[in-house]
Amino acid sequence: MATTRIRRSALTLVIILLIIACFLAPYAWVVASSLKNQFTVFGDVTPLSWRAFVPVGATIENYVSLFERTNILRALLNTAIVAIGQVVFTLLLCSMAAYALTRIKFPGANVVFMLILLTFLLPIEAMMVPLYQVVSGLGLSNTLVGIMIPWIASPFGLFLLKQAFEELPAELEDAARIDGAGHVRIFFSIVLPNVKVPMVTLGLITFLFCWNSFLWPLVIVQDPARQIIQVAIAQQGSPTQLPNWGETFAGATVATVPLILLFLVLQKYFTQGMATSGIKG
């Protein structure tokens, strides 16, 4: 009995070490190497030593040249603007639509819901060419609004909130209705305060989706001043073209750290939202 227990915990330990090696080591290597010069990066890998994962003799010169040489600061700012805008409008529009579908009786509700349901199945990456034509036809190419506007009416967001709204007991609003409150007041002062968790979840997933989006911003924006972070770091170069690995790693770190911090702090909302809906950005 005791030996099987020891064997089991040894196995558990091995699996955990394997997971660390697979999932944590690449991040450690990238972050550590972003703090080294080219020579050290290469030297620590061939032959491979523990130094590859630890910033021995750290220098911030890669970060300094990254911020001086490229417009990454501008790109970070643009991304923050787009992401916050997209979160605010997605939350507003999706919650309003979810309210109408769950709290107001009107003819045609089923048709409206079917129309939304169908778009859930559309693969967005397959729609880039016509979407480019529609958005640039509206004069929104090369604008931050053009980056966010196609994704604001999110069928995923609507489903997430609709589900939450349906779970709210009707008694909540009955009292307010007897007091003569209209839909607008019920929506803002009774329904919204009671769906904070799903709203936070949707906000976070929207932020993640927006921060990480690549193909659409690449297509719709050519102006470097309107570039967002993923496109900016994608254009830094590949291992063979680029003399400075450290600077690319610094860019990747800068693009990832804000999101990972957000994830670590609010992890349970992320995991919950993804598990219940099965959709991510």
Site residues for another protein, window 68-97 (CB under 8 A)? Answer: 92-94, 96-97
From the list 4, 5, 47, 223, which residue makes contact with another protein (rule: CB under 8 A)? Answer: 47
Sign of the CA dihedral with 78 first, then 82, 87, and 92 last: positive
Please compute, for residue 80, the number of CA atoms within 13 A of its CA located in the half-sphere on the CB side. Answer: 8
User: In the complex, what is the shortest distance from the CB of residue 225 to another protein, in angstroms, rounded to a whole number?
Assistant: 20
Indicate whether 128 belongs to the interface with another protein (CB under 8 A).
Answer: yes
Backbone angles phi, psi at 193, to 5 degrees: -65, -15
Stretch 220-239 residues interacting with another protein (CB under 8 A): 230-231, 233-234, 236, 238-239
Q: Does 130 sit behind a cis peptide bond, omega within 30 degrees of 0 on the bond before it?
A: no
Taking residue 218's Cβ as centre, other Cβ atoms within 10 Å add up to 16
Stretch 257-276 residues interacting with another protein (CB under 8 A): 259-260, 263-264, 267, 270-271, 274-276
Which of the stretches 55-63, 112-120, 171-179, 188-196 binds another protein when contact is defined by CB under 8 A?
112-120
Q: Which two tokens stand for residue 132?
A: 């480019």
Which of the stretches 63-71, 144-152, 165-173, 194-202 binds another protein when contact is defined by CB under 8 A?
144-152
CA dist 19 and 25 (Å) reads 9
Which of the stretches 55-63, 126-134, 170-178, 193-201 binds another protein when contact is defined by CB under 8 A?
126-134
| Mutual angle of helices 25-34 and 245-265, in 10-degree steps | 130
Query: The tokens 């507003």 sit on which residue?
Result: 92
Stretch 186-205 residues interacting with another protein (CB under 8 A): 187
User: In the complex, what is the shortest distance from the CB of residue 254 to another protein, in angstroms, rounded to a whole number?
Assistant: 10
Quick one: the chain helix, strand, coil %, rounded to 5? 75, 0, 25
Which of the stretches 24-32, 61-69, 80-88, 164-172 binds another protein when contact is defined by CB under 8 A?
24-32
Indicate whether 42 belongs to the interface with another protein (CB under 8 A).
Answer: yes
Indicate whether 23 belongs to the interface with another protein (CB under 8 A).
Answer: yes
SS3 category, 70? coil
Stretch 154-183 residues interacting with another protein (CB under 8 A): 155, 158, 182-183
Helix (H) or strand (E) holding 198: helix 196-212
Indicate whether 126 belongs to the interface with another protein (CB under 8 A).
Answer: yes
Which of the stretches 61-69, 163-171, 172-180, 253-261 binds another protein when contact is defined by CB under 8 A?
253-261
Indicate whether 101 belongs to the interface with another protein (CB under 8 A).
Answer: yes
Indicate whether 256 belongs to the interface with another protein (CB under 8 A).
Answer: yes
Q: How many residues bind another protein (CB under 8 A)?
A: 97
Q: Which two tokens stand for residue 94?
A: 């999706």
CA dist 82 and 207 (Å) reads 9
